[in-house]
Amino acid sequence: MDWVRIFDTTLRDGEQSPGATMTPDEKIRLARKLDGMGVDVIEAGFPAASVGELSSVQQVCAVVQHAKVAALCRTRTGDIRAAWDAIKDAKHPRLHVFIATSDIHLEHKLQMTREQVLEEIRRGVSYCRELCADVEFSAEDATRSDLDFLVTALKVAVECGATTLNVPDTVGYTLPHEYEHTIRTIVNAVGPDIIVSSHCHDDLGLAVANSLAAIRGGARQVEGCMNGIGERAGNAALEEVIMALKTRPTEFGVQSRVDTKQLVGISRMVRDVTGIVVQPNKAIVGRNAFAHEAGIHQHGVLASARTYEIMDPVDVGWTTNQLVLGKHSGKHALKARLESLGFPMDEASMVEAFVRFKALCDRKKEIYDEDLVAIAIGDKLVQGGKIELESIRFESGTDVAASATVTVRVLGRATRAMATGDGPVNAALEAIRMCTGVGDVVLEDYRIAAISVGTDAQGQVNLRINAEGVVASGQATHTDVVVASAQAYIHALNHLAFQRERFGQNPPRVDSDVLAARGAV
Ligand code: KIV
Ligand code: ZN
C-alpha cells in the first residue's frame, strides 16, 4: 500500500531547540510513546556528538519494538561508526547520512568542490551500506542547491545503496509550489523504488505547507517534530501534517499510519519533557484548538459540531475536561482512564502512579484529566536525576521577609540550605542553588499556569535557566506552586548536569562547523 511514512525527529532535530536537551530516560519515554502510536521512523540522536549521546541512542533502540530507529551522521568515517555502534542492536536500524549540496555550503562551510562532494557521498553512503541495509541520504540545504547538481548527487547516493532520499529545506527558505516541483523532479529522476522524503524548517512559517506540497509532488516520507519544535523556528509539526492528510484525503490520496487519537498525549509529553510550552492557539494540540468563544459559533456547534469543526476533537485525543476520578476511585479505574488518555501503564508504573494519585486526592477534591496526565508523566520527570528534592519549608507574607529552607539530595547525599528572597519562589530557588553548588544560574524564563479549574488546581511551572551559556529547562506540577517551582528548578538543574556531563560547557549543534571545531568525529 502507498502510504506516507512519518519520520519523527523530535529526539534529534527537536532536541536542538534551545534548552530542550533530553536525558536518556526522557528519550526512552518519548520513544516508547512514538513507537506505540505508529510512527514509522524514530530518529534518536546524533551519536558522534558524545559518548553520552551514543549511549542514549542505544537505550532507545532497546525499547523500540516496531519503528525503525535512525541515527544521524555526517559522511565521515568516525561519525558513521559511532552511528552504527549506537543502532546496530535495534530491531530495525537505519543509518541517516548527510552532506550539504548547496554552493553556499560548499564554498563557506565545507570548502569543497562539487566533484569532492560527490566523492564524499560515494564513500560515505557505500560505507553506510556495508554496515546497514537501510540507508537514508540527506542533501543538506537541498532547496538552495542547483537542481541539476542536487539530482546528480541524489542519484550517486542511490547507486551506492541509499533507499531513502531526503530533501531538507534546512533554512526554511522554499515555497510550496517550488518544493513540490523539486520533489516531483527528484521522484521522476530516481524512480518508484526509492522513497523521497521531505524535511522542512519553519523560518517562513511554511514548514507544514511545504511538507504537504512535497506529498503532492510524490514524497512518501515526511520528517518533522511533534509540536513543531526544532532548530530555530522549528521543524514541520507532524500532528498538523498527519491531520491534514486525514481531514482532506482526496487532495492527497495517501495517509499516514499513525493512531491520531494519541496526538494530544504525545504533544503533552513533548511539552513536559522539553519545557517548551504549546501556544494556546496551536492547531490540533493547542488548548484553544477546539474552543468556541463567539456566541454564534457556540450556537452552531451545539446544533451540529460540523458547522465550525472540521475535525472531531476526540480523533486527535482530546477528551472533555470533566471530573473523572476522586479519592474513592480504585486502581482499575485509574489504569483504564490513563490508558484512554494514551498512557499505557505497566505493573510497576501503575503502583507508583496509584500512590501519587492517592496523595493528590488528599490535597485536591476533584481530579481532572490534566491532573492524571501529570501523574502519568509530569511527576516522573523530576525523579531519577542526580539531584532530588527531599523537603522544603518556606515562609512569606505581608509582614515577614520571605525565606525558604530546603534539603536536597545530590547523588544521594543530603545537603540543607536556607535563603531569603523577594518572595518564597525566589528564596526556594536560591536555597536549592546553594545546596547544589552549580555556580551562577540565571532564571531566563518562568511561567506558571493552573492545569485545571478550581482554587485547588495544580500549578504547572515551566522554567528555563542559563548557567554560563548552557541553557536547560524544567517543568513540574504540584498543588503548591512553590513546591512546583522548586521541583521544576531541580528538573532543569538535572538537565544542566546532564548536558555538562555529555558535552562540557558548549552543547553542540548538528551544524558541521560547530562539530568540526569541537573535534567531534
Ligand atoms: O535540516 C537539515 O538539513 C537536517 C539534516 C541534517 C537532515 O536536519
Ligand atoms: Zn533539520
Q: Which of 32-36, 62-66, 208-212, 352-356 has the lowest mean pLDDT?
A: 352-356
Condensed to tens digits (0 to 9), the pLDDT of residues 131-183 reads 999 999 999 999 999 999 999 999 999 999 999 999 999 999 999 999 999 99
| Dihedral over Cα of 431, 434, 435, 439: its sign | positive
Q: How far apart are the C-alpha atoms of 454 and 365, rounded to whole Å?
A: 10
Q: How far apart are the C-alpha atoms of 135 and 83, rounded to whole Å?
A: 12
Ligand nearest to the CA of 167: 1
Supply the DSSP symbol for 385. S
Q: Whose C-alpha lies nearest to ligand 1, atom 1?
A: 170
Residue 26 makes CB contacts below 8 A (sequence gap 6+) with 273, 381
- Which of 224, 163, 170 has the alpha carbon at shortest distance from 196? 163
What is the pLDDT, as a whole number, of residue 19? 82
Q: How far is the CA of 235 from the centre of ligand 2 (A)?
A: 7
On whether the CB atoms of residues 496 and 504 are closer than 8 A, the answer is: no
Ordered by where they begin, the domains of the chain are: 2-274 (3.20.20.70), 385-502 (3.30.160.270)
What is the pLDDT, as a whole number, of residue 511? 46
Pocket test for ligand 1, best of 7, 74, 79, 138 (most atoms within 8 A of CB): 138
| Atom of ligand 1 minimally distant from the CA of 171 | 1
Q: Which of 106-115, 167-176, 358-367, 414-423 has the lowest mean pLDDT?
A: 358-367
Average pLDDT over residues 291-302: 69
Q: Which of 41-45, 58-62, 317-321, 399-403 has the lowest mean pLDDT?
A: 317-321
Q: How far is the CA of 109 from the centre of ligand 1 (A)?
A: 15
Instruction: Say what angle helices 51-63 and 481-503 make with each other, to 10 degrees.
Output: 110
Strand, helix or coil for residue 441: coil
Radius of gyration, CA atoms only, the chain: 24
Q: How far is the CA of 9 from the centre of ligand 1 (A)?
A: 10
Exposure class string for 203-232: b at 16+ Cβ within 10 A, else e? bbebbbbbbbbbbbbbbbbbbbbbbbbbbe
Average pLDDT over residues 282-288: 94
CA angle, residues 488, 239, 132, in degrees to nearest 5 = 90
Q: How far apart are the C-alpha atoms of 365 and 155, rounded to whole Å?
A: 63
Whether residue 40 has pLDDT greater than 60: yes
Q: Which of 14-28, 65-79, 272-286, 317-331 has the lowest mean pLDDT?
A: 317-331
What is the average pLDDT score of the chain? Answer: 89
Q: Which of 153-162, 218-227, 438-447 has the lowest mean pLDDT?
A: 438-447
Per the DSSP assignment, residues forming a β-bridge with 70 are 43, 94
Task: State CA 462 to chain mean position distance.
Answer: 16
Strands (E), 132-256: 135-140, 164-169, 195-200, 221-224
The band of 521, judged by pLDDT with boundaries at 50, 70 and 90, is very low
Cell of 520: 567531534
What is the pLDDT, as a whole number, of residue 217? 98
Average pLDDT over residues 185-208: 98
What is the pLDDT, as a whole number, of residue 139? 98
Whether residue 519 has pLDDT greater than 50: no
Whether residue 459 has pLDDT greater than 90: no
What is the pLDDT, as a whole number, of residue 297? 66
Q: Which helix (H) or strand (E) holds 231?
A: none
Whether residue 303 has pLDDT greater than 80: no
Q: How far is the CA of 299 from the centre of ligand 2 (A)?
A: 43
Residue 375 makes CB contacts below 8 A (sequence gap 6+) with 338, 353, 356, 357, 360
Average pLDDT over residues 451-459: 78
The band of 295, judged by pLDDT with boundaries at 50, 70 and 90, is low
Inter-CA distances, 309 with 249, 279, 288, Å: 17, 19, 12
Average pLDDT over residues 391-401: 93
| Atom of ligand 1 minimally distant from the CA of 235 | 1
Whether residue 510 has pLDDT greater than 50: no
CA angle, residues 117, 119, 123, in degrees to nearest 5 = 115
Average pLDDT over residues 479-501: 89
The band of 240, judged by pLDDT with boundaries at 50, 70 and 90, is very high
Cell of 472: 536547560
Condensed to tens digits (0 to 9), the pLDDT of residues 119-134 reads 999 999 999 999 999 9
What is the pLDDT, as a whole number, of residue 195? 98
Average pLDDT over residues 316-335: 77
Ligand nearest to the CA of 231: 2
Cell of 511: 551544524
Q: Whose C-alpha lies nearest to ligand 1, atom 2?
A: 170
Whether residue 9 has pLDDT greater than 90: yes
What is the pLDDT, as a whole number, of residue 84? 98
Q: Alpha helices, DSSP H only, in 304-341?
A: 331-340
Q: How far apart are the C-alpha atoms of 238 and 226, rounded to whole Å?
A: 5
What is the pLDDT, as a whole number, of residue 504? 61
Q: How far apart are the C-alpha atoms of 327 and 6, rounded to whole Å?
A: 40
Whether residue 246 has pLDDT greater than 90: yes
Ligand 1 site residues, Cβ closer than 6 angstroms: 13, 98, 138, 140, 166, 168, 170, 199, 201, 510
Whether residue 43 has pLDDT greater than 80: yes
Average pLDDT over residues 280-289: 93
What is the pLDDT, as a whole number, of residue 515? 42
Q: How far is the CA of 168 from the centre of ligand 1 (A)?
A: 6
Per the DSSP assignment, residues forming a β-bridge with 196 are 165
Q: How far is the CA of 66 from the centre of ligand 1 (A)?
A: 24
On whether the CB atoms of residues 69 and 114 are closer than 8 A, the answer is: no
**Sheet strand arrangement including 413-421:** 387-397, 400-410, 413-421
Average pLDDT over residues 438-448: 90
Pocket test for ligand 1, best of 74, 97, 140, 511 (most atoms within 8 A of CB): 140
Pocket test for ligand 1, best of 510, 511, 512 (most atoms within 8 A of CB): 510
Q: How far is the CA of 509 from the centre of ligand 1 (A)?
A: 11
Better-predicted residue by pLDDT, 344 or 205: 205
The band of 378, judged by pLDDT with boundaries at 50, 70 and 90, is low
What is the pLDDT, as a whole number, of residue 248? 97
Query: Burial, 237: exposed, middle or buried (Cβ in 10 Å; 0-12, 13-18, 19+)?
Result: buried
On whether the CB atoms of residues 142 and 167 are closer than 8 A, the answer is: yes
What is the pLDDT, as a whole number, of residue 426? 95
